[in-house]
């Protein structure tokens, strides 16, 4: 697919600059704090801007496990095509853990425009295999720079409120690396037509996330947008562009983890 330079410039708010070639479609990685409703609304507007400019990218979604791709493809090929709600209900099920009211509008836009919908998450079951057997034994590259191991393990320790040790966090980091590698592989498959990836902020970081696993040519034309909250300060070079929103009201996720366990009944 050829993407005209004028369309690139029309979507400059998304890309934070134009790629100086008429043949390169945009590769846009949109981060998120998963439960922040304001961020999802802004990202949806960015997606619409890109489509209105004439781009027809593949929509890659962390929210779908990769083993569900055959079902997504089957439903997209159906006549008549499903609604986004029907596709999500059939593919994701009721226990996926995602708040689908945030993501269904993206799926609907993809269906309306005939875009590929690509499942890019390595499932929990597969992640346990990676943690137990290692990257090399589960189809991923074990050639991981130390900076990536350290950053991913540190994020995991923080997200678990300091309740796991460094060795455990490092093993768990393998699953995060596996997800990043698979997302990068999927971007490469669809890069010719353009890509919009919906994933957490950690995945779209240029320094340690998905872009580190892209081919140099694809990485050079990709743009990562971090959607952060409040006073969050990203590491230097983590994103091409940062959008800051107020923090979503939520309970302290660490409070329950810090409480002592309830006494057992006699």
C-alpha span between 21 and 5 (Å, rounded): 7
- What total number of domains does the chain contain? 1
- Strands 58-65, 241-245: pairing kind: unpaired
**Which pLDDT score, from 0 to 100, does residue 159 have?**
85
**Which pLDDT score, from 0 to 100, does residue 212 have?**
98
**Which pLDDT score, from 0 to 100, does residue 12 have?**
41
Look at residue 141 and tell me if it is in a domain. Answer: no
Look at residue 251 and tell me if it is in a domain. Answer: no
**Which pLDDT score, from 0 to 100, does residue 255 have?**
72
Comparing CA positions, the residue from 15, 46, 63 lying closest to residue 109 is 46
Look at residue 50 and tell me if it is in a domain. Answer: yes
Look at residue 36 and tell me if it is in a domain. Answer: yes
Look at residue 194 and tell me if it is in a domain. Answer: yes
**Which pLDDT score, from 0 to 100, does residue 17 have?**
39
Comparing CA positions, the residue from 130, 137, 222 lying closest to residue 178 is 130
**Which pLDDT score, from 0 to 100, does residue 91 have?**
96
Strand order in the sheet with 58-65: 117-121, 58-65, 195-198, 27-30, 222-229, 241-245
Look at residue 110 and tell me if it is in a domain. Answer: yes
CB 188 within 8 A of CB 218: yes
Q: Apex CA 150: angle with CA 187 and CA 252, to 5°? A: 90
**Which pLDDT score, from 0 to 100, does residue 11 have?**
44
Look at residue 62 and tell me if it is in a domain. Answer: yes
Query: CB atoms < 10 A from the CB of 204, how many?
Result: 29
Look at residue 117 and tell me if it is in a domain. Answer: yes
Alpha-carbon separation of residue 51 from 10, 44, 47, 197 (angstroms): 10, 11, 6, 14
**Which pLDDT score, from 0 to 100, does residue 96 have?**
79
**Which pLDDT score, from 0 to 100, does residue 54 have?**
96
Domain range enclosing 87: 27-121+185-238
- Given a cut of 50, the residues of the chain with pLDDT beneath it are 1-22
CATH number for 190? 3.40.50.11550
């Amino acid at each position: 697919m050829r993407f005209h330079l004028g369309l690139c410039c029309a979507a400059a708010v998304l890309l934070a600059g134009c790629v100086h070639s008429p043949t390169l479609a945009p590769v846009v990685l949109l981060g998120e704090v998963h439960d922040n409703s304001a961020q999802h609304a802004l990202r949806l507007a960015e997606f619409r801007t890109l489509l209105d400019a004439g781009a027809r990218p593949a929509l890659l979604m962390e929210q779908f496990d990769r083993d569900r791709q055959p079902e997504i493809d089957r439903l997209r090929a159906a006549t008549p095509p499903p609604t986004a709600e029907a596709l999500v209900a059939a593919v994701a099920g009721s226990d996926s853990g995602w708040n689908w009211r945030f993501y269904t509008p993206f799926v609907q836009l993809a269906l309306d425009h005939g875009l590929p919908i690509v499942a890019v998450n390595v499932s929990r079951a597969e992640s346990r295999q990676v943690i137990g057997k290692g990257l090399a034994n589960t189809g991923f590259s074990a050639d991981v720079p130390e900076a990536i191991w350290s950053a991913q393990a540190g994020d995991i320790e923080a997200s678990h409120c300091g309740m796991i040790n460094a060795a455990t966090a490092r093993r768990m980091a393998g699953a995060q690396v596996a997800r990043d590698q698979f997302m990068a592989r999927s971007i490469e498959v669809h890069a010719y037509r353009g890509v919009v990836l919906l994933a957490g902020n950690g995945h779209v970081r240029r320094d340690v996330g998905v872009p580190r696993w892209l081919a140099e040519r694809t990485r050079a034309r990709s743009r990562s947008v971090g959607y952060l909250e409040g006073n969050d300060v990203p590491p230097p070079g983590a994103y091409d562009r940062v959008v800051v929103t107020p923090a979503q009201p939520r309970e302290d996720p660490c409070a329950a983890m810090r409480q002592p366990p309830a006494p057992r009944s006699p």
